[in-house]
Amino acid sequence: MSADAVSRDIWVLAEYAEGQSPKGGGPQLRKITYELLGKARQLADALGGRVVGVALGSGIGPVAGDLAAHGADRVLLADAAVLERYTTEAYAAVVAPLLVEARPALLLIGSSAWGRDLAPRLAARTGAGIVTDCGAVDVEDGRIVATRPVMTRKAIARVAFLAEGLRIAVVLPNVVSPAPSDPARTAEVVSAPVAVDPASVRARVVEVRAVARETVPLTEADIIVSGGRGLKGPEHFALLDALAAALGAAVGSSRPPVDSGWVPHDYEIGQTGKTVNPQLYIACGISGAPQHQAGMSGARCIVAINRDPQAPIFQIASYGLVGDLFQIVPLLTEEVRRLKAGSPG
Amino acid sequence: MNVVVCVKHVPDTEAPIRIRGDGRAVEESGLNFVMNYYDEHAVEEALRIKERTGGTVTVVTAGPARAVEALRAALAMGADQAIHVQDPALAGLDHLGVARVLAAAIAPLPHDLVLCGKLATDDNASVVGPALAEYLDLPQATAVTTLELGDGRATAHREVEGAVEVLEVALPAVVTVERNINEPRYPSLPGIMKAKRTPVAVKTLADLGLTPDSTGGSRVELLGLTPPPKRQAGRIIAGDPGPAVKELVRVLHEEVKVL
């Protein structure tokens, strides 16, 4: 094999809650990392390679065991004070040389705020082929092939990485099953070198302001309750908050409530907001314009509650209730609470 | 402050698309193209910076002949000058290759700040901004919702999962913008007239000292485009709200098993 040959290993870049190394409470990997480990196992088995977890941060030793339990055969730990918070430049400076030296078959990165920030920079630095927003990633006839939504989800593109060179796939959250946990599994843990001059980091995070309401990030939520123009005002989002609390769901919106200033921009689902792939999406007072569908039509089950039977949302909804959401949503909240309390009816 | 804005000419997202017979591209005939939505916000941000601090706003695109319309739209909003990289070899480049081309076009220009949209609505890659930062050896801030400029540095806010990050970035830098950073202005009539008279500098890869090989070509291959799986309209649960809600919860619990 030539010096340029690529190994059969699949690498997974681990991500923590809030996209940085943990402070207090111990390391907590994000759901997307478990999903990437699940996908990596499948690809590594198909190629006959290993799953390698890569974790960067400060004081993150304990995470190695969690990566191993979820399928990593090998863990590369880059542990240094300069990596305590995610920065594009420090992270790229650590990961790029590792990639170039080991030449894995594929590096999987989650499509999160920092995954989308880092992956293209890494690709540019290493000359890796990059495919972002991957739904499926599979091995077909020895090639790695990914699918991704394009043209605001009006088409699905199938993209193959070339046979030669490094490859990075940025994978959407909630599209692959997380790897199961086996606490008995162990991995070879290797310390990765960190040679980062802090002065070379020209963009740094000086403050993180937690968004208190977001218990589950929208992009990771299994269930989303979402409101549209039909909510009629900011005060009525409390109805959705109550339903979401009963369901353990996250709350989102279509574009009009954001444009009207009822809810902040980070609520928005659709072409100009977030793309979500939950198991259940409950659309309340949302007409279902194509621009909204672009962000949520990948949901497994869609429930629409709208007073207009002609609303386009009913064309894609698995279940529809035509009626007044101000009447239906509180009833639904009550019924869900009853179910969760174990006394249906 | 001299600001360079990268723009892309993309299909209007409101319009339905047709996939070409060979499945390799979208049928362009009859399709309306516009400036990428997020790039309008980038142009607006550049114009506001110019209004506060002086300097120039230069817009750059790499694309086919029709892409000059995106530049004209930016000039009509108030940009000062425009560069159009146009070369048959562009069709064979991936996003890193395009970033390499844009970097070569921007490097000789005075640039205290380079702005891009956070993604282009046609292929949704969000690769070009950070790749451009790498090739220009500049720091980056992506998907920025507010941008304040100070002496030799900028403070940027960005939405991450569950939090807002406040970044301090040394200038010059590459910043990609979210839609809520501002409300883009409409071009004025004098602006539209002026845009028609402003010459657009057209450059080939050779003019930029590049060859198709030196851009890296394409490291990925598009195998095909297909329409997304069609969702079928499902079941309307009719009747009074009380019983309908009970039935909905029963179905979600027992049949769909999502509750």
What integer pLDDT is reported at residue A23 of this predicted model? 46
Tens of pLDDT along A224-247?
Answer: 999 999 999 999 999 999 999 999
Average pLDDT, chain A: 93
Mind telling me how many Å the CA of A246 is from chain B's nearest CA? 11
Interface predicted TM-score (ipTM): 0.96
Residue in A113, A123, A317 nearest the CB of B131? A123
- Residue B162 CA to residue A188 CA, distance in Å, equals 33
What integer pLDDT is reported at residue A21 of this predicted model? 42
Q: CA of B154: which chain A residue's CA is closest?
A: A203
Pairing relationship of beta strands A129-134 and A167-171 according to DSSP bridges? parallel
Across the range A180-206, mean pLDDT stands at 95
What integer pLDDT is reported at residue A43 of this predicted model? 97
- In A157-180, which positions are buried (b, 16+ CB within 10 angstroms) versus exposed (e)? bbbbbeeebbbbbbbbbbbbebbe
Q: Using CB atoms within 10 A of its CB, is residue B153 exposed (0-12), middle (13-18) or buried (19+)?
A: middle
Window 46-65 of B, Cβ < 8 Å to A: none
Residue in A120, A160, A328 nearest the CB of B220? A160
- Residue B165 CA to residue B41 CA, distance in Å, equals 20
Reported pTM: 0.94
**CB of A21 within 8 A of CB of A29?**
no
Residue in A89, A204, A336 nearest the CB of B249? A336
Q: How confident is the model at residue A216 (pLDDT cuts 50, 70, 90)?
A: confident
What integer pLDDT is reported at residue A20 of this predicted model? 42
Tens of pLDDT along A130-169?
Answer: 999 999 999 999 899 999 999 988 999 999 999 889 999 9
CB contact under 8 A, A316 and B231: yes
Average pLDDT, chain B: 96
Tens of pLDDT along B34-84?
Answer: 999 999 999 999 999 999 999 999 999 999 999 999 999 999 999 999 999
CA dihedral A308, A310, A315, A319 (to 10 degrees): 40
What integer pLDDT is reported at residue A213 of this predicted model? 66
CB contact under 8 A, A335 and B245: yes
The token pair that represents A31 in the structure block:
């759901």
CB contact under 8 A, B219 and A314: no
Mind telling me how many Å the CA of A188 is from chain B's nearest CA? 31
On chain B, the residues whose CB falls within 8 A of the CB of A18 are 160-163
Q: CA of B230: which chain A residue's CA is closest?
A: A316
Q: What's CA A119's distance to the chain center, in Å?
A: 14
- Residue A35 CA to residue A341 CA, distance in Å, equals 30
